[in-house]
Structure 1
Amino acid sequence: MPVTAFQQNCSLLTCTQTRKAALVDPGGEAEKLIEAVEQADVTLEQVLLTHGHIDHIGGAADVAAHFGVPIVGPHRADEQLIQGVAAQAAMFGTPGVKVPTIDRWLEGGDTVEVGTLTFDVLFTPGHAPGHVIFVNHAHKFIVMGDVLFQGSIGRTDLPGSDHGTLMKSIFQTVLPLGDAYQFLPGHGPGSTLEQERQGNPFIVQGFEG
Structure 2
Amino acid sequence: MKLEKFTVGQIMSKCYILSENGKALIIDPGAEGEKIYNYLKENNLKLKYIINTHGHFDHIGANQFLKTKTDAKILAHPKANLKFEDPSLNLSTILKREEITSPALDRALKDGDSINFEGLNLEIITTPGHSEDGISIYLKEKAMLFSGDCIFANGIGRTDLVDSNFQDLKNSIEEKIFKLPAEVEFFAGHGPVSNLENFKTRVWPSFK
Give your verdict on TM over 0.5.
Answer: yes
In the superposition, the TM-score normalised over structure 1's length comes to 0.91
User: 1:206 deviation in Å?
Assistant: 7.2
The share of aligned pairs that are identical, in percent, is 27
> Is 1:71 the equivalent of 2:74?
yes
Query: Counterpart of 1:36?
Result: 39
Is the strand fraction higher in 1 or 2? 2
Question: Do the aligned partners of 1:133 and 1:144 also contact (CA within 8 Å) in 2?
Answer: yes
SS in 1 for 2:34: helix
Cα distance between partner residues in 1 of 2:121 and 2:87: 30
Cα distance between partner residues in 2 of 1:140 and 1:19: 22
Query: Counterpart of 1:160?
Result: 163
Query: Counterpart of 1:80?
Result: 82
Cα distance between partner residues in 1 of 2:123 and 2:194: 19
User: What is the CA deviation profile of residues 6-58 of structure 1, one whole-angstrom value per residue up to 9, with x for unaligned ones?
Assistant: 1100110112xx23210111111111111122123322111111100000001
For 1:81, give the aligned amino acid. Answer: K
Higher relative contact order (Cα pairs below 8 Å, separated by 6+ residues): 1
Question: Do the aligned partners of 1:147 and 1:166 also contact (CA within 8 Å) in 2?
Answer: yes
Cα distance between partner residues in 1 of 2:103 and 2:30: 11
Cα distance between partner residues in 2 of 1:179 and 1:115: 26
Query: Counterpart of 1:13?
Result: 18
SS in 1 for 2:98: coil
> Is 1:110 the equivalent of 2:98?
no
Cα distance between partner residues in 2 of 1:134 and 1:22: 12
Cα distance between partner residues in 1 of 2:18 and 2:128: 23
In the superposition, the TM-score normalised over structure 2's length comes to 0.91
Cα distance between partner residues in 2 of 1:64 and 1:115: 20
**Equivalences for 1:1-209 in 2 at 5 Å?**
1-15=6-20, 18-73=21-76, 75-85=77-87, 88-93=91-96, 95-200=98-203, 203-205=204-206, 207=208
Which range moves more in the overlay, 60-69 or 184-193? Answer: 60-69
For 2:162, give the aligned amino acid. Answer: P
Two-structure CA RMSD over aligned residues (Å): 1.5
User: 1:146 deviation in Å?
Assistant: 0.5
User: 1:182 deviation in Å?
Assistant: 0.4
User: 1:152 deviation in Å?
Assistant: 0.3
User: 1:78 deviation in Å?
Assistant: 2.9
After the TM superposition, which segments of 4 or more aligned residues of structure 1 sit over 6 Å from their partners?
none
- Structure 1 unaligned segments of length 5 or more: list them: none
Cα distance between partner residues in 1 of 2:129 and 2:103: 22
User: 1:205 deviation in Å?
Assistant: 4.6
Cα distance between partner residues in 2 of 1:40 and 1:167: 40
Cα distance between partner residues in 2 of 1:4 and 1:206: 28
May I ask how many residue pairs the two structures share in their alignment?
202
User: What is the CA deviation profile of residues 42-87 of structure 1, one whole-angstrom value per residue up to 9, with x for unaligned ones?
Assistant: 22111111100000001111111101111011x1133322221266
Cα distance between partner residues in 2 of 1:35 and 1:86: 30
